[in-house]
Chains A and B, each alone.
Chain A
Amino acid sequence: MTVDTVQHAAETPDQPQPFAELGLKDDEYTRIREILGRRPTDSELAMYSVMWSEHCSYKSSKVHLRQFAENPPASDAMLVGMGENAGVVDVGDGLAVTFKVESHNHPSYVEPYQGAATGVGGIVRDILTMGARPIAVMDSLRFGDADAPDTRRLVAGVVAGVGGYGNCLGLPNIGGEVGFDPTYGGNPLVNALCVGVLPHDRLQLAQAKGTGNQVVLLGALTGRDGIGGVSVLASATFDDSVDETGKVAGPSKRPSVQVGDPFTEKILIECCLELFDAGLVTGIQDLGGAGLSCATSETASHGDGGMRVDLDKVPLREPSMSPLEVLMSESQERMLAIVAPADVEAVLERCAKWGVLATVIGEVTDGDHLVITWRGEVVVDAPPASLADDGPVYHRPLARPDQAQDALVADTSASLTRPSSGDELRDTLLQLVASPELCSRRWVTEQYDRYVLGGTVLAMPHDSGVVRLGDDTTRGVALSLDGNGRFTRLDPHDGAQLSLSEAYRNVACAGARPLAVSDCLNFGSPEDPAVMWQFAEATRGLAEGCRALGTPVTGGNVSFYNQTGATAINPTPVIGVLGVIGDVTQRVPSGFTSSGQHVVLLGDTDDELDGSAWAWVVHHHLGGRPPEVRLDAERALAAVLVEAAERSVVVAAHDLSEGGLAQALVEACLVGGTGASIELDGDPFVALFSETAARAVVATEDVDALRSLATKHHVVAKVIGRTGGSALSIDGLFDVGLEQLREQSEGTLPALFG
């Protein structure tokens, strides 16, 4: 094999190079030549192309993401902010948690099982990289219309992939969401979240410091899978590989999807945690997107010198791989550790115990370049920061698409026929309960292990997942993951804030104090000014919302180029909120479990049906303005919910979101197995189906105590009924038995996908 060396590159300055095919623009290629003072080698060109890709460099989003870091809300909990593999938050008692949500959308469309599986694997390694033991995962999934021809393939594969990897890894899946909308038909969203726990002193950073320290590659063999994953899949649309029906992604892209091996990841986790506890590594980085290219250039860039790497030492699955392929491979379940020379032997011994392959492949140097050799020749010689940190930054043009957006906003739900009689309201409720939008997710969540590790206190179908942080503590964290693409489509700024509000509210419903945010921003092509406008508005809304709620963004991920043909997905920021609960025995479940308790509605209700589940499910209508954002009210509501939990004033709490009060009552009754009798004031349709924000329904035995809490925080509290019986009864309008509700709710997904 002849290979393009640095020497050869210097001697052949005019050799044409395929930079455009690799996704680099003319001026970017010129800049690379300026940085290097010569043309790049093939390997260097490939490295720059992946490191400067949208996925790795955040070149289109960077200018907008800065507002999360530059003007964060006051918080004394942040130990590590944005920029590392994941943010780290102090939760007290010397413990910290780290959590992050990330997308794996495009691989999951091409190859649903492996795409989703490696999405879970990737985010778990990010958490491990911080020095944390991963303790739970969640997933937020969106597909095309539930009855569209390709949806079944995607749902079956993605759910099996998320479950297959997480179950085999031994991480409980504690919640998430599943959504359907035609805009995701050719581009499903697969967002996975992982949370981990660590003692403060085990925190690890992704840096290669200390001249002479050894660079050790841990884990799986390097093969030809996932080459170009971040540039081929994550940073472009599917236009060139989708057929006319928009149905099938080209098999040609399938080799760009990585293949997961959860068993290898499981032993890698146990092995790395032993290495961290023994203090044997000085820096660690996972190999994810862009593989060795990314891990070596990032750790070297964040260190204090250079790095030398010998590619001949990398254990290969296929010996015929070229240096470029070795650098680009996104083979999973690998980590890069920086180890003091004196500790190398101990590291190799521990790895041998676990059966984890460990190989010294290079060392930290006192130079300032990343130098990579192959068969004795230098194939890469570049400043690592130029790869990792100094990628291009775009100020993409953005423009509100006035005509289309104005028309969308003007097309309100006011003209839609509303149900009024008891029978009509009952039918509407049943239609919503059975719809793919709102039906039970049990068919999905039953495929996930929620018990493993023994710390799961709440999981689906409760409002938040709650996990205890250890056997010898009652301290726990609560997490919720929420997005609403339709609200965000109607108003990107407010929609992002409403998604944040919902996740924040869910965490508070469980009795936990919301503390921090991780976001996964799923949008269409950044080259479309209308999409960039959505993105700019959504990030602005999110930054403002996080300031108002006092919950800093700790990290996350941006996924662009999510399109079905020429149509962008509904802009979908998926927001993860993490909260802390001092005593998990005081967590609040969402179901009504015993009779005779007062049902209390917290918060005001207005007539807000635009963009609602009712408008979509019953009328297939999307238009108007999303519900008003009420951040002050959300804060007040959360304060009531958290104090009520701490004082054991409420026995159940469930947030109101999609489907309004009707859906919240149905879920509370079904989850707890107890009915309720409810009396409504005013227009019953609005009372039941409006999606006004900042509301929750709770069950309590002590109305006076709850009222005084609500008064203290200026939250409206209205007793609307009592729990009991085996039906949901809306006084004077209709009754519907729990058995019928359960059949309606639980039958839908098995009928579609079972």
Chain B
Amino acid sequence: MPATTRVGVVTFPGSLDDRDAARAVKAAGAEPVSLWHGDATLLGVDAVVLPGGFSYGDYLRAGAIARFSPVVAEIVAAAGDGLPVLGICNGFQVLCEAGLLPGALIRNAGLHFVCRDQLLRVESTATRWTSQYDDGAEIVIPVKHGEGRYVADATTIEQLERDGRVAFRYLGGNPNGALNDIAGIRNEAGNVVGLMPHPEHAIELLTGPSVDGLPMFASVIDALVAV
């Protein structure tokens, strides 16, 4: 039995949901480890969560500055070696900016920030972060963002669909105009997943609409323990 799984949660200046992500990691049974944006080290963690928020204020373009931080350089390198990485909302934007995932997140089609409880379908369970869901499971997870409209060129979208790399899809109304109702995607290896909805806000019924976010954090522990 390996020691407790250690999951790093990055704090950029302007990260907002970092403590929430740490809480979710803990609720799933792993040990959250705080990672600082300016430190070029991952402290030997087994997986990393890039949380939601507005890194460095995101005045230029969401995630555009964060990708240059020392910690992201470490994450990019480690992800290449198979480190499980989950990017939530701003974290997803950072992963796209950093080139770990294709495409980009642009301003919502309605131009407004949208906060609502969103129905999603799990489209791919072949990732380190979704293995505990049933294929095609329908889950409710909050979305809250102003720049969450997933876009990519036609070839990329076609490729994502063909390779089953769309991880989550919006159901019952697309909150931001994302192409093909895409809410989240994975890389080819399945260790890197990015999504706009916030699984860390769906871990207890007292404060969230469901507990549907918990399996995402439990999946990575499962995957690591299995190794």
Contacts and interface: CB of A to CB of B under 8 A. Distances in A.
Contacts of B146: 167
Contact of A168 (B17, B20, B57): B57
B206 A167 contact: no
A89 B115 CA distance: 31
Interface residues of A, number: 33
Interface in A122-178: 160, 163-164, 167-170
A446 B175 CA distance: 11
Contacts of B19: 453-454
Contacts of A449: 113, 115, 144
A559 B214 CA distance: 47
Given A261-B57, A266-B14, A468-B207, A454 B115 contact: no
A595 interface: no
A708 B52 CA distance: 48
Interface in A731-754: 754
Contact of A164 (B52, B113, B144): B113
Contacts of A263: 13-14, 54, 56-59
Contacts of B110: 754
Contact of A452 (B14, B112, B116, B144): B144
A135 to B, nearest CB: 12
A453 B20 contact: yes
Interface residues of B, number: 29
Contacts of B16: 168-170, 266, 452
A263 B113 CA distance: 17
Interface in B23-70: 23, 52-54, 56-59
Given A263-B56, A451-B208, A163 B198 contact: no
A452 B207 CA distance: 10
Contact of B207 (A169, A447, A456): A456
B142 interface: yes
B86 to A, nearest CB: 17
B206 A457 contact: yes
Given A261-B57, A454-B207, A163 B113 contact: yes
B201 interface: yes
A447 B146 CA distance: 9
Interface in A364-423: none
Contact of A447 (B52, B59, B112, B142): B112
Interface in A579-593: 584-585
B151 interface: no
Contact of B112 (A160, A264, A355, A456): A160
Contact of B20 (A266, A447, A454, A585): A454
A471 interface: yes
Contacts of B14: 168, 263, 266-267
A451 B201 CA distance: 7
A458 to B, nearest CB: 10
Contacts of B113: 160, 163-164, 167, 446-449
A636 B113 CA distance: 41
Contacts of B83: none
A449 B112 CA distance: 12
Contacts, number: 83
Interface string B194-227: 0000101100001110000000000000000000
B114 interface: yes
A262 B53 CA distance: 12
A364 B93 CA distance: 47
Contacts of A453: 19-20
Contact of A451 (B56, B57, B142, B206): B142
Contact of A354 (B13, B23, B207): B13
A450 interface: yes
A455 interface: yes
A446 B146 CA distance: 11
B10 to A, nearest CB: 15
A473 to B, nearest CB: 13
A87 to B, nearest CB: 27
Interface in A163-211: 163-164, 167-170
A354 to B, nearest CB: 7
Interface string A345-359: 000000000110000
Contacts of B59: 263
A167 B114 CA distance: 11
A584 B208 CA distance: 14
A281 to B, nearest CB: 21
A454 B13 contact: no
A452 B17 contact: yes
Contacts of A455: 207
Contact of B116 (A163, A169, A262, A446): A446
Contacts of B115: 445-451
Contacts of A452: 16-17, 20, 52, 144
Contacts of A354: 13
Nearest to A171: B16
A163 B145 CA distance: 11
A451 B112 contact: no
Contacts of A454: 19-20, 23, 200-201, 207
A261 to B, nearest CB: 7
Contacts of B58: 168, 263
Given A167-B113, A266-B13, A355-B13, A457 B54 contact: no
A450 B115 CA distance: 7
A168 B112 contact: no
A272 to B, nearest CB: 14
Given A451-B144, A451-B208, A446 B114 contact: yes
Interface in B51-104: 52-54, 56-59
A169 B13 CA distance: 11
Contacts of B57: 168, 261-264
Contacts of A355: 13
Given A451-B20, A454-B19, 5 more contacts: A262-B57, A266-B54, A354-B13, A454-B200, A585-B206
6 contacts: A164-B113, A167-B146, A266-B16, A447-B114, A451-B20, A451-B142
The 4 closest A-B pairs by CB, nearest first: A263-B57, A170-B16, A454-B20, A451-B201
